[in-house]
Amino acid sequence: MDSRIDPTRYIDMKPGSTFIIRNPGNFIPHSADIPRAQVSTALAGLEFTTGMESIKDIIVCGHSDCKAIQMLQSVKRSDTTAEIDMEGPFASWLVSRGGRTWDKYLTEQEGEGSVSVHSNLTNERLMTKLDPGGQLPTHDVISQINVLQQMHNVASWDFMKGALSRGIRLHGMWFDVNVQMSYIFDWRSLKFVELKSKKGAAAFAQM
């Protein structure tokens, strides 16, 4: 939703060549978290697009300085100074949709010093250190964790499992708004690498 982010620009796509779904925090519910009767518009959009023969790639995009992620921190830490109504719909959205991301951050990043990422096809649990040098602010680390969690959430749905088995590729990307740089999650190194680097180009060609 952030107006600073133009997805077609930072992934070099022409207008009209992509279907874009946006919401605060780029959250997609895990299949275990909601009953079928409460599916979201984001899920409906995903299933609709994966049924199209022209769709080859699905990209979960996060970005730096994400206000939704910062507000998720505030809500989860019960920060009374935060400019958010703790009883309002936005806070409820963050709690219900961002819970898995926050739990991953607390139990893995803060607790173990590394975070897990699940293979799209095998669901194998792999561990990685996203910011070993400690260069990113906490909310940006959580934003990258959120990309990995939302990829896992997307892949948890039966229609998406079928799409992946047919060869549709699921990617995780992260955009640094300060330096206008795009990163993609590389399954070989288990790191976010620059999209326009050799590693980035190879990562985009991977599942």
Task: Give yes or no for a contact between 184 and 200, defined as CB atoms under 8 angstroms apart.
Answer: yes
Task: Give yes or no for a contact between 173 and 60, defined as CB atoms under 8 angstroms apart.
Answer: yes
Kindly report which listed range (9-23, 158-172, 173-187) carries the lowest average pLDDT score: 9-23
| Mean pLDDT across 101-122 | 83
Alpha carbon distance 119, 116 (integer Å): 10
- Is the pLDDT at 12 greater than 80? The verdict is no
pLDDT tens track for 46-98 = 999 988 888 889 999 999 999 999 999 988 888 777 778 888 888 888 988 99
Task: Give yes or no for a contact between 89 and 170, defined as CB atoms under 8 angstroms apart.
Answer: no
Tally Cβ neighbours within 10 Å of residue 60: 23
Band the pLDDT of 10: cuts 50, 70, 90: low
Q: Give the distance from CA 156 to its chain's centroid.
A: 14
Residue bearing the bigger pLDDT, 160 or 34: 160
Q: What is the mean pLDDT of the chain?
A: 86
- Is the pLDDT at 169 greater than 80? The verdict is yes
pTM value surpassing 0.75: yes
142 burial level (CB within 10 Å; 0-12, 13-18, 19+): buried
pLDDT tens track for 87-107 = 888 888 898 899 999 999 988
Residue bearing the bigger pLDDT, 206 or 94: 94
